[in-house]
Structure 1
Amino acid sequence: MKTRAIVGALCAVGLLSSGPMANAEDLEVLHWWTSGGESKAVGVLKDMMEKQGYVWKDFAVAGGAGSNAMKVLKARVLAGTPPTATQIKGVSIDEWAEEGVLANIDAATKGWDKEIPPAITKFLNYKGHYVAAPFWVHRLNWLYINKKLLDQVGGTPPTTWPEFFVLANKLKAAGIIPLAHGGQPWQDINLWEGVVLSKGADFYNKTIVDLDHGALTSATMIDVFDTVRKIASYFDPGTAGRSWNLSSAMVIQGKAAMQMMGDWAKGEFLAANLVAGKDYLCVPRPGTAKLFMFNSDSFMFFKKDGSDAATKGQVALAETITSKDFQHKAAYYKGAIPARSDVSMDGFDSCAQKSHDDFVAAIKDNALIPSLAHGMVQRDATLGAMRDVVTHFVNSNEDSKTAVQKLAQAAKVM
């Protein structure tokens, strides 16, 4: 990996550890879960591991939807001081495995093939061995709505983009910010891929998964960018650089009516003691009702002392992550659903119940769609190039025809 260039910079700002490596049974865990709901979920795991006698060394690196944490991780691995485990998702696991730095955690995986859906386990394996453990499954194509503000304008949850724009105009006329959005590249492409998804699973797969040139430059893709441009017209002036959880707070506090975000946002609503169906609504984004766009967070484990096999602590950590007790508690706090299919949904709110039901249905109907924005489809180079095109479009006056040509060029980056 081309990581040497960042080591000096990270040392200079104090992000690269200069102390001794952690003891074999100490658990240094790198992640970027720092919001309210996320912190509670991590806290559950920390408590469980400490009760087993392990020393939890929390290494949280906030910001950038994990991009900041990945910079730190690359430098640590290059320096020969990898953490015990790190938060990761999707195709990035294979990229790290190809570097020969991941530990085999097969000893912790009894029953996984039956308990965890194949759509998830395929990301956890490398050449027949497990190297990562799954936490939960997130649905990406949610639209959150403040029910009080919706009722105030006599609106109904939109199921199509024309309906969304009618509602947005009503809200705007009433002096309400229609849509809270965070102007960060990962949030821009998260919004954009939801519009791509609204054109159907076949179109999404052709453009995002297959990178088909004809589909990427089609009239349908031009319409996607036109729709995104219109959505962006309902952003408030404070959008630039805003973190996703601050956008959630705007909806929670009644400062904005809607937010397009994955179901981790629901963890913020839960932390604010809001009740799904009463205080807020969670509905699929326009045009995506029968589709389930997902990502799945995991911990991947690094070799220690040159051994391919995971340490005792790493095995215990993987077993704890995939235990029914942790899966239930962590998914509840995070706003997600368990990665294990045999975990009870008792106690989860109506949004999570619907998410679980839709997830099961999507598996049967072949409507489970991996998220580009969250690293479940393309490798970093291609994702980064496509993300740059989208975020430039959102933050400029570029026309849609130019944007699709740039997108097609970006898709060639491998």
Structure 2
Amino acid sequence: MKLTTKLLGLTALVGATQAQAVEMEVMHWWTSGGEAAAVAKFAEALNNNTEHTWVDGAIAGGGDVARPVMVSRIIGGDPPAAFQFNHGRQAEELIEAGLLLDLTDVAEAEGWEDIVNPPSLLDACTVDGRVYCAPVNIHSWQWLWLSNDAYEQAGVEVPTNWEEFVAAAPALREAGITPLAMGGQSWQQSGAFGVMAIALAGEEAWLAVNQDKDAEVARGEDYTRVFQAFADARDLADGLDVQDWNQATNAVIEGTAGGQIMGDWAQGEFAVAGMTAGEDYTCLPGLGNTAVLSTGGDAFYFPVTGDPEIEAAQKELAALLLSPEVQVAFNSAKGSLPIRGDVDLTTVNDCTTRGLELLAGDNVLPDGNLLLTQDTITQTNDLMTEFFNSDMSVEDVQEQYAQIIENAN
């Protein structure tokens, strides 16, 4: 069934209210080259297949900058039509306050329970049995991206795991190449730590800390090994002064850095640069040590406006975001995986194929955003960036981290 034909039936989702043409401001933090190319797929789908108009509300600086702006707009009575958050607990207070639109009728009419995979992503949108967001992708942090050219310049083989990555660092330094690209924002450093925790401490220890809030595991030998590796990463990143994550990715693209620990959204930057996975760059899920996906990602929420025409348009957009054609177009550009398994993915690259294989094999873990409150995440971010930008000892950072976990809920 063609997308335009399918959309003709979407007005049934809003009862007796016919969706009229609405200018829909959509707020998000996708501003890099790859991200902008991906979000344009959503805008094109809305503009070409409905009477509505996408008004782009991009906010530069990432989620830490954008989220407070979005929340302020909503609680201040000037909400956008839709906004992007990560899957997880970030919208809990807005839902409890009755400020977000209930999308349960859309989810039921579109069969989201049957198509969203893994189910945890729809569960993350569900509060007290009601659905409040539209999940649009599966993003995983669990990747190490490597510049094939950098290792060729240094005269060493492209690493296949974290230990080989560390061992190759002196050869890169000798060639004038920074081994590890790391941006200056706290979420990047904290995200890299999370990847290292799963890869080097193992899934069981990571779940004990993040899911069970077991502070003794956080104080134990498994996590000591992670913090020691994080100290190595601090040394390996010395020499590259960039702030944004995509600037760090660009250093890998240009071959001035050997690698970057970053989520699969980095693929969008490689695509914009015309690079080919497996030829120009190499991807190592789980740092090559523990091949697993953390199934996080992005979802769109829709503020309550009290205007029936806007609500009808909001529900039309929610259904559109999960339609097969839009899922393929957006996720192919974004570097993420679609949240539905019934779409044609024959055109995706080698790295995305590896991600799909991990997903199919159920080699997945919940994303930390699904398990930790935003307050705990903020505390962890602050601690990791303090460690990364100081001479704090491994012993001190590990104990402070354990105390955060001890007090988490």
Query: So what's the TM-score if we normalise by structure 1?
Result: 0.88
Check whether the contact 2:38–2:330 (CA below 8 A) recurs between aligned residues. Answer: yes
Counterpart of 2:39 in structure 1 is 42
What's the counterpart of residue 320 of structure 2? 320
Letter in 1 for 2:253: I
After superposition, give the CA deviation of every residue in 1:312-369 in whole Å (9 maximum; x if it has no partner). Answer: 101110111001011000001111111111111111111111111111212xxxx422
- Aligned residue for 1:58, secondary structure, equals strand
Q: Distance in 1 between matches of 2:274 and 2:337?
A: 19
Instruction: Report if aligned partners of 1:184, 1:243 keep a CA contact under 8 Å in 2.
Output: yes
Q: How many aligned residue pairs are there?
A: 383
1:374-405 deviations in Å (ceiling 9; x for gaps)? x2321111111122121111111111111121
SS in 2 for 1:275: coil
| Cα RMSD (Å) | 1.9
Pairwise CA distance, 1:371: 3.0
Secondary structure in structure 1 of the residue aligned to 2:187: helix
Higher helix share: 2
Find the counterpart in structure 1 of residue 380 from structure 2.
Answer: 386
Q: Retained in 2: the 8 A contact 1:245–1:268?
A: yes
Say if 1:147 and 1:280, in contact at 8 Å, map to a contact too.
yes
Match of residue 390 from structure 2: 396
Distance of 2:158 and 2:140 partners within structure 1: 18
Aligned residue among 206, 213, 216 for 1:214: 216
How do 1:168-207 residues align onto structure 2 when only pairs under 5 Å count?
168-198=169-199, 199-207=201-209
Deviating runs (4+, > 4 A) in structure 1? Answer: none
Structure 1 residue 154: Cα displacement: 4.1
Question: Does the 8 Å CA contact 1:26/1:313 hold for their aligned counterparts?
Answer: no
Residue in 1 aligned with 2:400? 406
Distance 2:321 2:197 in 1: 33
Q: Which residue of 1 aligns with 2:227?
A: 225
Q: Deviations over 1:116-164 (max 9, x none)?
A: 1212111111221211111111121111111122233343343443322
Deviates most, 185-194 or 85-94: 85-94
| TM-fit CA distance, 1:27 | 1.0
Gaps of 5+ in 2: 1-19
Report the equivalent of 1:144: 145
Specify every segment of 5 or more residues in structure 1 that has no aligned partner in the other structure, as ranges: 1-22
Alignment partner, residue 357 of structure 1:
357
Q: Which residue of 1 aligns with 2:95?
A: 97
Q: TM-score, normalised by structure 2?
A: 0.89
Q: Deviations over 1:38-91 (max 9, x none)?
A: 11111111122122111222111111x311111111211221121111101212
- Comparing 176-185 and 150-159, the one that deviates more: 150-159
In 1, the alpha carbon distance for the partners of 2:186 and 2:262 equals 14
* Matched-pair identity in %: 30
2: CA distance, partners of 1:395 / 1:72:
27
Secondary structure of 2:138's aligned partner: strand
Residue of structure 1 in register with 2:165 after alignment: 164
Q: Matches of 1:162 and 1:145 in 2, distance apart?
A: 14
What displacement does 1:413 show?
A: 4.5
Task: Spell out the pairing of 1:25-36 with structure 2 (5 A cutoff).
Answer: 25-36=22-33
Alignment partners' CA distance in 2, 1:209 and 1:187: 21
1:278 aligned residue: 279
